Every structure is written in structure tokens, then in C-alpha cells.
Amino acid sequence: MAGVPALNYGEQIGQALLRQLEAEPKALILGEGVTDPKGIFGTCLPARDAFPERVIETPISETMLTGALVGLALDGWHPIYVHARAEFSLLGWSQMVDTLAKWEWLHGTLMPVTIRCIVGRGWGQGPTHSQSFHGMTAWVRGLRTYVPVDPEKVGAMYAGMFRSLEPSISFESRRMYDKEGLGIKHHPALYDVVIYTVGDIIYEAALAQEELLRNGVAAKVEPLEVIDPGMARPAAGCPVVLAGTSPGGLDMIYRFIKEDFAPVPIEVVEPPNVPLGTAKRYEDDYYPDVREIVNAAYRALNIDKTMTARIGENSAPVADSTGMRSPF
């Protein structure tokens, strides 16, 4: 609507949570920090203010609380559990994998449970507060995995999760909450290469698309927000770049394309398989940048060209002797 400012990513989630509590009297939000003044980057504040009795601050006991989600669902509730750090979800891993995800298949009872995990980035998150486990949960049968990135669609995506009445887990990057768009300026009907992204690397991919276009290469950029093998369907013979910000987080998609499609060149862009260092200079070198996506596209297309400078910089950082960007 003209004159009405667009809601950003965090506000869209906040409105989706509020609407769920309005529509479903037995929906509730639980987690550490859901009632504090910041309310998980503001996402829980609208629901907290409207339904304080159904936005519940929890103790530090993730294993017990993940089990409690099962009990709540069996009693007719629709719980939404928030992990302020994705790593905390690992404490409830057994309950998620063997109970929550399997209950419908064991007993025929739906488990309308949604688990939100916040993935740290920036602000010195370091090796224990920066991990996304979508590459692990995607292999858990009975548990649907989401990595929402589109600020214009994230509210609808959460509404769909709530309506599905199935166990769902999502991974939100803290880099996203103030974003109002993806930055993708071109949607070519005909293209030379497709760039599939998982997570907040979508912004680097959008800049890579512009750089490639300046060099005569048409790229389609497509975020994958549901981690499911069938989500990536490249056109016959079209080279593919897979880009993500979590080591191993693209494995399922890579395997599906390799096994189910005619042979196509595939390049993978992701961080090195080492923990992220806490200092900013480590983080700057850890996450893939525009240059790496552009060069992956060139390799996939067998184009003898290399982008050497970062966007806005005159030179690239030095790689170590293995050719891998070093976090040290």
C-alpha cells in the first residue's frame, strides 16, 4: 500500500507470531529471552504485549523443555520454542530426532511444534554461537527444516509452518532482522548459470549477479528456504553454483543434483571446515564473499577469468598455501 513502510524481516516474523496467537487459542511461545525488553530481536514483542500469559520465559533446561514440547502438543497445544542461539538446540537433539519427529509415525498423532533457532554472525559470535545445523536436521525424517531469508515472504513462511501441523525447525540469521529485501535486481528468463543459496549469503549472491552481468554472464539467483532435495531443479545442462555460510550445509542439495540430474558442472561455495574465530579479522576471512561466488560461476562455465578484488576494494586478502581462505 502506498505510503505504508515495508515491514522488515524481524517485524514480519513478529506479526506472524502475533497472528498465530490470535488465531489459535492454544498457541504459545516459549524460550529464554522471549519476554526480555529486546524480545529476540523484537520478534516476540507484539505477541508478548498482546498475550503475556502465552509468551513464557523458560529456565535454562533445553533437554527437558524439548521433551515438554511433545507433552504440550499431545495436550492440544501448538508450542513455538525459541533458541536464542542455535547451539542450544543440540541439548534437545535426542528428543527432537527420536520423539518429536517420529511421534506421528509411531502413534498417528500430529505434532504441531515449531522450533526457531537464531544463528549468530558478527559481534564476535565466535565458534560456539555462530553455527547453523540445517545441514544436519535436513536429514532427520519427520522434521521439516527451513532457512528463511526473504523479508517479504518470511511471515507467510511461518504462517505455513504453523498451518502444516508438523514438527518444523527454522534457522534465522541475526544478520537478517533489519533487512527489507533481498537485493536481487535481475530475474532473467534465460540465463547462463543458476546460483542456489542457503542462508544470508543471498546478499553476496545478489552482488555477484550484478558483477557477472557486467561481464556478460546472466545468472539466476534462487534462495532455497526449505531444505529438501526437490527444491533445487536446475534446467537441463545449466551449470550450478551452490553457496552457503555453513560448512556441509549444502550436502543434501549437492547430492540430489548429482544423482538426479544429467551431469552438470557444480561449484560449491561455503566456509572452510574449521571453527569460526572470534576476532573480527577471522570472521571477515571466514565467510565467502562476492568474489568467491563470481569465480565459482566462471569455473562452472569454464570461463578463463578471475575476479581478484573484493567489492569496493582494490585487492584480495592473501590465501594460505592450500588455496583455502585461512581463518587464522
Is the Cβ–Cβ distance between 197 and 222 less than 8 Å? yes
Evaluate the CA torsion angle 274, 278, 279, 280 in order and state its sign.
positive
β strands within the chain, DSSP E: 27-31, 55-57, 78-83, 114-119, 144-146, 168-173, 193-198, 219-223, 240-244, 266-269
Alpha-carbon span 277 to 100, nearest angstrom: 34
Q: For the segment 265-300, what is each residue's pLDDT rounded down to a tens digit?
A: 999 999 999 999 888 888 888 999 999 999 999 999
Is the Cβ–Cβ distance between 273 and 293 less than 8 Å? no
3-state secondary structure of 30: strand
- The set of cell numbers assigned to 292 is 568467491
Query: For 315-321, which contacts have Cβ atoms below 8 Å and span 24 or more sequence positions?
Result: 316/291, 317/284, 317/285
3-state secondary structure of 36: coil
Length of the chain: 328
What pLDDT is stored for residue 327 in this prediction?
Answer: 30
Is a pLDDT exceeding 60 seen at residue 326?
no
CB neighbours (10 Å) of residue 323? 6
Domain boundaries, the chain: 9-176, 193-300
The phi and psi torsions of 154 (rounded to 5 degrees) equal -65, -35
Beta bridge partners of 268: 242
- The set of cell numbers assigned to 275 is 571453527
Is a pLDDT exceeding 60 seen at residue 101?
yes
The phi and psi torsions of 28 (rounded to 5 degrees) equal -150, 160
71-80, 82-91, 223-232: which has the minimum mean pLDDT? 223-232
The phi and psi torsions of 297 (rounded to 5 degrees) equal -65, -40
Examine domains 9-176 and 193-300 and report if their fold is the same. yes
The phi and psi torsions of 194 (rounded to 5 degrees) equal -110, 135
What pLDDT is stored for residue 264 in this prediction?
Answer: 86
If we measure between CA atoms, which residue out of 234, 305, 223 comes closest to residue 266?
A: 234
What pLDDT is stored for residue 169 in this prediction?
Answer: 97
Q: Which class does domain 193-300 fall in?
A: alpha beta
- Band (pLDDT 50/70/90 cuts) for residue 313 is very low
- Band (pLDDT 50/70/90 cuts) for residue 311 is low
Q: For the segment 206-263, what is each residue's pLDDT rounded down to a tens digit?
A: 999 999 999 999 999 999 999 987 778 777 789 999 999 999 999 999 988 888 776 8
CATH superfamily of 9-176: Thiamin diphosphate (ThDP)-binding fold, Pyr/PP domains (3.40.50.970)
CB neighbours (10 Å) of residue 166? 16
Q: How far is CA 99 from CA 96, 103, 326, in A?
A: 6, 6, 40
If we measure between CA atoms, which residue out of 28, 113, 107 comes closest to residue 73?
A: 113
